[in-house]
């Protein structure tokens, strides 16, 4: 295929009926020597975020099924306490993942609005390495460090 764009059906969950998609080789990684947030980089991060979200949602479905299956009457008090502790830990983990899905949705909205990859504090580009490691990042490393230092100072009060 010689063109750089192909047409792909995107599910309603992702927000569109038909959407032009930039062709990306499987081994593509954003590079510093290409224009920042070009079509290929945007598509790379969009796919990364969608895949991450789908993994989290699959894990949540598995947890719900597991919790429904494990609802049983355990006569031994110690075993029951242990199972309740495990369930509480699992639910806490899922709650964290639910919040993470909301952050992923927010990042996908920023992609759609053309704001993805730019620091919400300074407006400067967030490094590609940081975005690759944490695609939901909203601040550059420097702005994040300043934020955490201020947060630590105020927390000590």
112 & 123 share domain: no
Q: Which residues pair with 125 in a beta bridge?
A: 118
Q: Count up the domains in the chain and report the number.
A: 2
Residue 66's Cβ-count burial label (10 Å; 0-12, 13-18, 19+) is: exposed
My answer on whether 36 and 76 are in the same domain is yes
Residues 105 and 132 in one domain: no
- Looking at the structure, tell me whether residues 15 and 92 fall in a common domain: yes
12 φ, ψ (degrees, to nearest 5): -60, -30
30-83 pLDDT, tens digit per residue, is: 999 999 999 999 999 999 999 999 999 998 887 777 766 666 677 788 877 888
Inform me whether the pLDDT recorded for 7 exceeds 50: no
CA distance 140 to 117: 9
Q: 149 and 98, same structural domain?
A: no
Query: Domain range holding 79?
Result: 5-116
For residues 60 and 130, membership in a common domain is answered with: no
Nearest by Cα to 44 from 60, 64, 22, 61: 22
Please report, for the domain that includes residue 40, its CATH number: 1.20.120.910
Tokens standing for residue 40:
């290929």
Same domain, 126 and 93: no
pLDDT in tens, 82-134: 888 888 888 898 899 999 999 999 999 999 999 999 999 999 999 999 999 99
User: CB neighbours (10 Å) of residue 150?
Assistant: 10
Judgement on whether residues 51 and 123 belong to the same structural domain of the protein: no
| 127 plus 94 within the same structural domain | no
- Is 124 in the same domain as 108? no
pTM over 0.85: no
Is residue 47 located within the same domain as residue 28?
yes
Buried b (16+ CB within 10 A) or exposed e, 16-39: eeeeebbeeeeeeebeeeeeebee
Q: Which two tokens stand for residue 7?
A: 């047409």
User: Does one domain contain both 10 and 38?
Assistant: yes
Rg, the chain, Cα only: 21
Span 68-83, pLDDT tens digits: 666 667 778 887 788 8
């Amino acid at each position: 295929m010689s063109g750089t764009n192909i047409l792909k059906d995107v599910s309603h969950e992702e927000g569109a009926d038909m959407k032009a998609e930039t062709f990306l080789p499987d081994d593509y990684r954003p590079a510093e020597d290409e224009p920042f947030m070009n079509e290929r980089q945007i598509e790379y991060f969009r796919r990364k975020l969608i895949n991450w979200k789908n993994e989290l949602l699959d894990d949540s479905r598995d947890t719900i099924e597991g919790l429904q299956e494990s609802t049983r009457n355990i006569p031994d008090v110690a075993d029951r306490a242990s199972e309740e502790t495990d369930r509480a830990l699992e639910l806490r983990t899922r709650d964290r993942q639910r919040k993470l899905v909301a952050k992923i949705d927010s990042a996908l909205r920023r992609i759609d609005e053309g704001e993805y990859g730019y620091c919400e504090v300074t407006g400067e580009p967030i490094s590609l390495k940081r975005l690759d490691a944490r695609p939901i990042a909203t601040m550059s490393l420097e702005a994040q460090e300043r934020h955490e230092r201020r947060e630590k100072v105020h927390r000590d009060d």
